[in-house]
Structure 1
Amino acid sequence: MRNGYDRVEETQLTVLYLGIFGFSLTLSFILTRYVRGLATARGWVQAPISERHLHEAPLPRLGGVAIFGAFVISLGVAVVVASFRPELAFGSSLRVLTTILVPACLVFLLGLYDDIRSVGPYVKFTVQTIAAAMLWLGGLRIVHLPVLFGFREFPWYVGLAITVLWVLGITNAFNLIDGLDGLAAGSALFSTLVVFVVALLSHASLVALTTIALSGAVLGFLRFNFNPATIFLGDSGSLFIGFLLSALALEGAQKAPTVIAVAIPVVSFGLPILETSISVLRRLISGRPVFTADREHIHHKLLQLGLSHRQVVIVLYAVSALFALLSLFLLWPTGSSLGLVLAVVGTGVWLGVQHLGYPEFGEIRRVAQRTLDQRQIVINNLAIRRATAELRVARDYQQICRILVAAFSANDFDAIEINVKPSLSEYQSLGELEGIPFSDGEVHFRWNRPGTLLLPGASRTWGLTLDLLTSADLRRGAMHVQRRYHDRPLQLDVNLLISEFPTALADALDRVFVSAMAMAPKTSDGQGLVEAQAG
């Protein structure tokens, strides 16, 4: 692309930029009023039929038509002015402009049809993929990522795939945040101004002119879209803006230094990219389709925290402005500046996501913590497995008690209790043995972790009750395990407690009872019955 600064003075370009911005803003203001009236009269409105809709009355959603019209007309005026002023002529840049505008018009028509008739997600992605491929064929492509892979160029098919993913991601990112009055348009305005500044400093006159025309169109529309909105941006606007910005970022990257080419667009589009990333991740984590709509976007979470509609938009404007400022900080790239920006962005994103309280990421955090605790979990699991193996050969009640104490002393439970109710004949036989505590006709065993005293039914505890069934399906009683509530999760695979362990314990108790009956003297008058002992 020829450099406009080689042929014109900076003041002349400044006048052109300001003139196009003002013209685009005014035209967008006029067209938005006209489109709003026309759409309302024709019934092209969005009724609040879904719980995701936050408006109360039907509103037109063809704001993208006004933005598109103001942008195209303003850009056309700029080209006409340049044709009469040789010092402003862009020459071969018009080919690049055509490469961008033709697929952008295709995406706009897709969004317009969706606003009026509705289109499925797969059709949308197909058309957007075709538009992205048109950019690639026109020379706007990602051929390498120096920050990650050095300056080695990708094979054409890898470059095509990465280019398409970039365009699809940014296009739909702006569409995804279009959930509150003025949010998508305002965020796009900040991103557009960043691309404009970068284009100015990179002497990319065409990108600068295109973005300033888009900025004016968006700002003129925002007058009617800010809360309380009287017209929505619609897919015709959000998809068009997102696609155009992704294409302009590709064009600007052709002349920008490495870090600017890669990092600045990503950071400047921070809010839409963050929203898209969070939405995709949480839906994948929860097992829901990626294209499923919900009320768990960032703006919905902020509303749930008690902020008003307008307050949420202002907060997210501030976030967009912060991303914009951080991206401009990379105009003077050094290792320390890049690291600082990444640290600020990473810390801010992490704190923000934590504050919003997404349950999916809470579960990921729990899994990560469990991974870090895996060594202790293995130790506790082995204690239960070892106890299960020892119970399979235990034939003495005191031995069973020692096995239980050793197993549960090594894990996270604070108390265990075993209640076994023998039959009358077993009760008489067990009475002949020493060291088996009885209470109310039952055999009782209870253990508390040293330093704790958990009484049955104690508050601030939770527990499990496991039926003790032998291998022959004979119920021997029940085992109760208790644990105080902790911030630290249980470091034990509970499946080990509810699978083989209860059966091994029941079989061990059964052997003790059978052995006691075999050793007890045969009586007919109940001799051998001993008085129950308190546990």
Structure 2
Amino acid sequence: MTSIYLGIFTGSVVLSFVFTRCVRNWATSKGWALGPARERHLLGARLPRLGGIAIFAAFVTTLGLCLVVKCVFSSLHSIISLRILSTILLPGTLILLLGLYDDFQDARPYLKLTGQVFAGVMLFAGGLSISQLPLLFGTQSFPWWMGLPLTILWVVAISNAFNLIDGLDGLAAGSALFSTTVVFVVALFSQSAVVSLLALALAGAIVGFLRFNFNPATIFLGDCGSLFIGFMLSALALQGSQKAPTIIAVAIPVVSFGLPILEVALSVMRRFISGKPVCTADREHIHHKLLQRGLTHRQVVIALYGVSAVFALFSLSLLWPKGSMVILVVAVLATGIWVGICHLNYPEFSEIRRVARRTLEQRQIFANNLAIRKAMEQLKVVSDFLQIGRILIAAFNDNDFDAFDLELKRFQTERLIERDHGWPIVAGKALQWEKSGHCNGRDLGPVWSLRLDLITTRGYMLGTLTLYRRYRNRILQIDIDTLTLKFPTILADALDRTAAKNIEIIPQRLIADQFFASSGQIDLTGASPAA
């Protein structure tokens, strides 16, 4: 049996080497040397994008030769099943043609999705489906109407996963080689001979192609190649699951396809968070991020080969699915993925971390917001400037700002006449406040500020309230909307009432303790405070 497998693999490698060379030369002579097909592709070289044809030809030819010699070697009778081959190859051919059309005509996303869904339906009709999954309380079997969408989702996801990572020379093909090796080993473990044969033929075709696709490449894999490889791996995983225990059938393929699945998950989440269409191409994939960190093209590919190898090794450890082993694998992979994502510095996930941190601090944010809302209720009934000052200081003293300036402006003469009352203050700062123990005099140091224009409900501009906060690593523990929506108008109306009563406002600069010491407690009755 070993000699048969060795012959299949060797034959596939040789055929792929020959076919890739021929396809490359033929496409170049026809003028089909094109640039990268997508925004995510980085290389500007004009090369043929028909590598998928060479892989498909080598794969199918190897299987055809196996059928020819089937009558010579009796041991092949139990390995090769024409029904299984047709079940997998017919939709696989459809996927290849769909990718080939996309390489030349740039097919629309809905057309590609429709073709992939139809290929998934063909697999399901041929008996390859997801019929059960391991859940928390045991294995759950599904009726056909649930198994069909799960099967389609699996086929579409894995096909596009390998298509997404096809952005650097040799990356998609090399990652697929590790996954194919895992499929082969699992098939041997599960005694699924036909999957072993198909996986070896596919692995050999990839190896022969990589000779021309590794950096610097002379031919691209193309969508026809990446989609075909992804589809074949999804189909082989489904076929292998027919004889394997449930945990092996489900967990091992998912882990072994870890890099492309992770790329799909990150891409979907990134685009969803940023409000972009999921199908939009960009240069924010894992390999792009590694290039931005200064790695060379070849270094990035080799590093991601290492990541694929780690996923492959961890998936093979699940061949002995003890509870402790599964927990260990999941914990190590989850930790590694999280650390890796953090080091890639995606702004979308930095924002998620900020929101999560803000959620943990929500109690303090709630308290600070509540202090501002209470101040607004108090400002609605006061008409004394000293009371206004004490309310502002009380609201911000335990809040997240370090200082504020209340600046009032002199109105034009005609506006004073229109209002029919005086405003006996000079233009300038009516009140300056800074938090005790946080600032040195008025030297606040590096700060950012928030300026609130104080406009009354009648549309009069009375002045501004400028809030200052020193730069610090901790996020602002207050909702800005609480300060910007109603608070400026309510404060302006309170100041307007103060002017209407012709109460003199003396510009002064006091910190919180001095202000309270000179003014007493807050009085909401409207009476003047004790001197």
Q: Is structure 2 residue 485 aligned with structure 1 residue 510?
A: no
3-state DSSP of counterpart to 1:146: strand
Letter paired with 1:234: G
Aligned to 1:482: 468
Aligned to 1:18: 6
Task: Give the distance between the partners of 2:452 and 2:440, measured in 1 at CA.
Answer: 18
Selected match of 1:309 from 292, 297, 305: 297
Structure 1 residue 42: deviation in Å?
Answer: 1.1
Q: How has the CA–CA distance of structure 1 residues 156 and 148 changed in structure 2, closer, same or farther, with 3 Å as cutoff?
A: farther
Q: How has the CA–CA distance of structure 1 residues 316 and 494 changed in structure 2, closer, same or farther, with 3 Å as cutoff?
A: same
TM-score normalised to the size of structure 1?
0.90
**What is the correspondence of 1:265-414 to structure 2 with a 5 Å cutoff?**
265-414=253-402
Aligned to 1:197: 185
Aligned to 1:164: 152
Letter paired with 1:511: R
Could you give the per-residue CA deviations for residues 386-408 of structure 1, whole angstroms, max 9, x where no partner exists?
A: 10010011122221111111111
Selected match of 1:233 from 217, 221, 224: 221
3-state DSSP of counterpart to 1:90: coil
**What is the correspondence of 1:43-58 to structure 2 with a 5 Å cutoff?**
43-47=31-35, 52-58=40-46
Structure 1 residue 52: deviation in Å?
Answer: 4.0
3-state DSSP of counterpart to 2:501: helix
Structure 1 residue 232: deviation in Å?
Answer: 0.3
Structure 1 residue 414: deviation in Å?
Answer: 1.0
Letter paired with 2:57: G
Aligned-pair identity (%): 59
Contact 1:82/1:90 (CA < 8 Å) preserved in 2?
no
Task: Give the distance between the partners of 1:29 and 1:534, measured in 2 at CA.
Answer: 83
Q: How has the CA–CA distance of structure 1 residues 336 and 509 changed in structure 2, closer, same or farther, with 3 Å as cutoff?
A: same
Letter paired with 1:292: T
Structure 2: where are the runs of 5+ without partners? 511-531
Q: Is structure 2 residue 83 aligned with structure 1 residue 114?
A: no
Structure 1 residue 150: deviation in Å?
Answer: 3.1
Structure 1 residue 240: deviation in Å?
Answer: 0.6
3-state DSSP of counterpart to 1:145: strand
Q: How has the CA–CA distance of structure 1 residues 532 and 290 changed in structure 2, closer, same or farther, with 3 Å as cutoff?
A: closer
Letter paired with 1:40: T
Task: Say what the alpha-carbon RMSD is for the aligned residues.
Answer: 2.2
Q: How has the CA–CA distance of structure 1 residues 508 and 117 changed in structure 2, closer, same or farther, with 3 Å as cutoff?
A: closer
Task: Give the distance between the partners of 1:95 and 1:452, measured in 2 at CA.
Answer: 79
Aligned to 2:87: 99
Aligned to 1:208: 196
Letter paired with 1:93: S
- State the number of aligned residues: 504
Aligned to 2:521: none
Structure 1: where are the runs of 5+ without partners? 1-12, 432-437, 521-529
Task: Give the distance between the partners of 2:101 and 2:248, measured in 1 at CA.
Answer: 36
**What is the correspondence of 1:30-41 to structure 2 with a 5 Å cutoff?**
30-41=18-29
Q: How has the CA–CA distance of structure 1 residues 159 and 52 changed in structure 2, closer, same or farther, with 3 Å as cutoff?
A: closer
Aligned to 2:526: none
Task: Give the distance between the partners of 1:46 and 1:170, measured in 2 at CA.
Answer: 26
Structure 1 residue 380: deviation in Å?
Answer: 1.0
Q: Is structure 2 residue 133 aligned with structure 1 residue 133?
A: no
Q: How has the CA–CA distance of structure 1 residues 430 and 281 changed in structure 2, closer, same or farther, with 3 Å as cutoff?
A: closer
Q: Is structure 2 residue 434 aligned with structure 1 residue 448?
A: yes
3-state DSSP of counterpart to 1:152: strand
Structure 1 residue 534: deviation in Å?
Answer: 6.4
3-state DSSP of counterpart to 2:437: coil
Letter paired with 1:210: L
Aligned to 1:10: none
More off after superposition, 185-194 vs 371-380 = 371-380
Q: How has the CA–CA distance of structure 1 residues 240 and 50 changed in structure 2, closer, same or farther, with 3 Å as cutoff?
A: closer
Contact 1:147/1:258 (CA < 8 Å) preserved in 2?
no
Aligned to 2:65: 77
